[in-house]
């Protein structure tokens, strides 16, 4: 009867090997378990897995050495052009001695990844007819493998192919799951912050709410919104400091814009991430960070608040720990800054509307008072047409002078009422007004 590896291992032995390898959570553990199995079977002294990444043309190496120390290495040069490249084009078992290995791949042999050995064997790892790597077996002595041993190693390799494919699929699924969870969490954060800030029209309330949400989700302790002041070359800063987690300190100040990091962001309209040290040449209000938090390294992140092409202000975040501003967090903070910019734009519009409303109220009060004054001084005159208002304005002008006033008008048009109004507004209004009929006065 011809020899087959499965009949040599036996069904129970094959089942035990498969179960052992399938229980491994990652490639490092798989290499360690495989090495132990081939050692116990006296098939090899060591085993490793080399994976080929076709898209990036890189090779990844997983192995276990003395004291079961895991090894992982990858590159697109020496390892990628090593033995694994050979089995991609010719999917046969590769077998060579150490001398042949050094002659064929001298750079790889000199790299320290492979200790001196007697014999080397690389078998293709394949799934659905596609070779995605190889399984290495090494013997340190000069004893070559027999055909029977090659067949047993081929059985191990077939099992490793299945297990490796499952581990890679599990890794991809875990990465996809973590990515989906992160996207879900980020979406929840964006929704929570958007709902919290868009309803705030008062700038102080808005800054407090923004600070509370950013501190809650990112554990950032110093949050500010910086806006340009109505005064030239000045900045209005709304800050929240979480020195006490339960009772944060809020402050508002006005500082010079020149020489500040905020000025740089206003000019570039780009995010600025920088580590500050106390010895740095900083603007006074930026140096106050060290007065607030002690002489620690401050990582400062300044995010532009944009409304279209208009720069509204800067969201300034300061933290003593650099690890807060990871790539993932920065991407999320950029999106948060976009929402905050909308809220700031709304708050500024509300401030302008409120200012114009108060101005309108003041002007309305002034006009009402003016009308009331006119009514009190010209109470006997009931006309309120534009022409009459023009006449009354002239009355106000001449009433304060000592000049003689000539009032012309037909009978019944109210010349006497105009005269009385002039008297009432004049400096003589506390004395009696004497009326005389000019036609009854003698000539000369």
Q: What is the pLDDT of residue 3?
A: 34
Query: pLDDT category, 103, cuts 50, 70, 90?
Result: very high
Same domain for 348 and 384, yes or no, is no
223, 214 in Cβ contact below 8 A? Answer: yes
How far, CA to CA in Å, does 401 sit from each of 7, 66, 388, 404? 131, 114, 21, 9
Q: Is residue 188 part of a domain?
A: no
Structure confidence by residue, pLDDT tens digits, 236-272: 988 888 877 788 888 888 888 888 888 888 899 999 8
Mean pLDDT for the stretch of residues 312-330: 84
Q: What is the pLDDT of residue 280?
A: 64
Q: Is residue 164 part of a domain?
A: yes
Q: What is the pLDDT of residue 314?
A: 92
Q: Is residue 349 part of a domain?
A: yes
| Full DSSP string of 198-216 | HT--SHHHHHHHHHHHHHH
Same domain for 158 and 220, yes or no, is no
Same domain for 340 and 418, yes or no, is no
Same domain for 295 and 169, yes or no, is no
Q: Is residue 359 part of a domain?
A: no
Give the whole-angstrom CA distance, residue 222 versus residue 205: 16
Same domain for 232 and 284, yes or no, is yes
Same domain for 156 and 244, yes or no, is no
Q: Is residue 194 part of a domain?
A: no
Give the whole-angstrom CA distance, residue 439 versus residue 244: 91
101, 118 in Cβ contact below 8 A? Answer: no
Write down the mean pLDDT value for the chain: 83
Q: Is residue 191 part of a domain?
A: no
371, 398 in Cβ contact below 8 A? Answer: no
pLDDT at 98 over 90: yes
Q: Is residue 190 part of a domain?
A: no
The CATH number covering residue 84 comes to 3.30.450.40
Same domain for 31 and 108, yes or no, is yes
Domain housing 208: 199-353
Same domain for 26 and 89, yes or no, is yes
Domain closes at, from 156, 173, 190? 173
pLDDT at 151 over 80: yes
Mean pLDDT for the stretch of residues 87-110: 90
Domain closes at, from 353, 387, 418? 353
Give the whole-angstrom CA distance, residue 101 versus residue 226: 65
pLDDT at 44 over 50: yes
| Distance between first and last Cα of the chain | 163
Contacts of 359 (CB under 8 A, 6+ apart): none
pLDDT at 2 over 60: no
Q: What is the pLDDT of residue 441?
A: 56
Give the whole-angstrom CA distance, residue 387 versus residue 390: 5
Same domain for 288 and 213, yes or no, is yes
Question: What's the predicted TM-score (pTM) here?
Answer: 0.54
Q: What is the pLDDT of residue 118?
A: 94
Same domain for 219 and 142, yes or no, is no
Q: Is residue 382 part of a domain?
A: yes
Same domain for 85 and 221, yes or no, is no
Domain count, the chain: 3
Least confident of 19-28, 99-108, 364-373, 413-422: 364-373
Same domain for 106 and 243, yes or no, is no
């Amino acid at each position: 009867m011809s020899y087959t590896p499965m009949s040599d291992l036996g069904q129970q032995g094959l089942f035990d090997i498969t179960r052992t390898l399938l229980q491994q959570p990652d490639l490092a553990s798989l290499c360690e378990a495989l090495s132990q199995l081939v050692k116990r079977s006296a098939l090899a002294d060591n085993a490793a897995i080399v994976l080929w990444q076709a898209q990036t043309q890189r090779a990844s190496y997983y192995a276990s050495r003395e004291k079961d120390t895991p090894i992982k290495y990858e590159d697109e040069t020496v390892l990628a052009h090593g033995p694994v490249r050979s089995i991609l084009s010719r999917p046969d078992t590769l077998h060579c001695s150490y001398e042949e290995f050094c002659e064929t791949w001298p750079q790889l042999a000199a790299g320290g990844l492979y200790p001196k050995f007697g014999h080397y064997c690389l078998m293709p790892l394949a799934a659905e007819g596609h070779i995605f790597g190889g399984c290495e077996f090494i013997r340190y002595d000069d004893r070559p493998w027999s055909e029977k041993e090659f067949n047993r190693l081929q059985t191990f390799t077939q099992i490793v192919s299945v297990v490796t494919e499952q581990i890679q699929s599990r890794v991809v699924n875990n990465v996809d799951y973590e990515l989906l969870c992160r996207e879900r969490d980020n979406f929840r954060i964006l929704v929570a912050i958007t709902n919290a800030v868009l309803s705030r029209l008062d700038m102080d309330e808005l800054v407090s709410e923004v600070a509370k949400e950013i501190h809650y989700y990112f554990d950032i302790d110093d949050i500010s919104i910086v806006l340009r002041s109505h005064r030239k070359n000045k900045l209005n800063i709304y800050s929240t400091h979480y020195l006490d987690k339960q009772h944060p300190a809020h402050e508002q100040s006005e500082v010079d814009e020149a020489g500040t990091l905020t000025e740089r962001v206003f000019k570039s309209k780009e995010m600025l991430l920088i580590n500050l040290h106390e010895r740095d040449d900083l603007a006074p209000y930026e140096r106050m960070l060290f007065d607030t938090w002690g002489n620690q390294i401050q990582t400062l992140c300044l995010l532009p608040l944009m409304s279209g092409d208009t720069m509204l202000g800067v969201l300034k975040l300061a933290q003593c720990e650099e690890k807060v501003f990871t790539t993932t967090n920065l991407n999320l903070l950029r999106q948060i800054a976009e929402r905050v910019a909308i809220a700031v734009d709304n708050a500024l519009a509300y401030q302008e509307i409120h200012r114009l409303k108060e101005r309108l109220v003041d002007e309305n009060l002034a006009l009402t008072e003016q009308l009331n004054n006119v009514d009190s001084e010209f109470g006997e005159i009931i006309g309120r047409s534009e022409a009459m208002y023009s006449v009354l304005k002239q009355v106000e002008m001449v009433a304060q002078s000592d000049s003689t006033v000539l009032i012309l008008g037909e009978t019944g048009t109210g010349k006497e009422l105009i005269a009385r109004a002039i008297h009432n507004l004049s400096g003589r209004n506390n004395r009696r007004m004497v009326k005389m009929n000019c036609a009854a006065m003698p000539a000369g």
